[in-house]
Amino acid sequence: MRIQDIQDRQILGAALVVLGLALGGAAAIAGLLAVDHMALTGPMCGPTVGHCIRCVAAVALLVAALGVSGTGAWMMKPRTALSPAT
């Protein structure tokens, strides 16, 4: 790996971590909306119907945030440049 490749990977990793933070914020907002929805329509929907799209969206955003942030952190891990073959 060249030095430039390592720097590009670290920049991409930092961008993925920032994207993960944004997805985490969206997951928090979606979770709050799902809680409000459950509080308002809980007696109408009941426990037998299952989760609605608001709950599923909140969980999907949370999983995406964790995956993207984890990948970004892995890409930012320091690596040594390989010496060119002689």
User: How far, in Å, CA of 54 to CA of 61, rounded?
Assistant: 11
Count of alpha carbons within 13 angstroms of residue 20, beta-carbon side: 18
SS3 state at 44:
helix
pLDDT in tens, the chain (86 residues): 565 777 888 899 999 999 999 999 999 999 999 888 888 877 665 565 666 788 889 999 999 999 999 999 999 888 766 666 55
**pTM for this predicted structure:** 0.76
User: How far, in Å, CA of 27 to CA of 58, rounded?
Assistant: 5
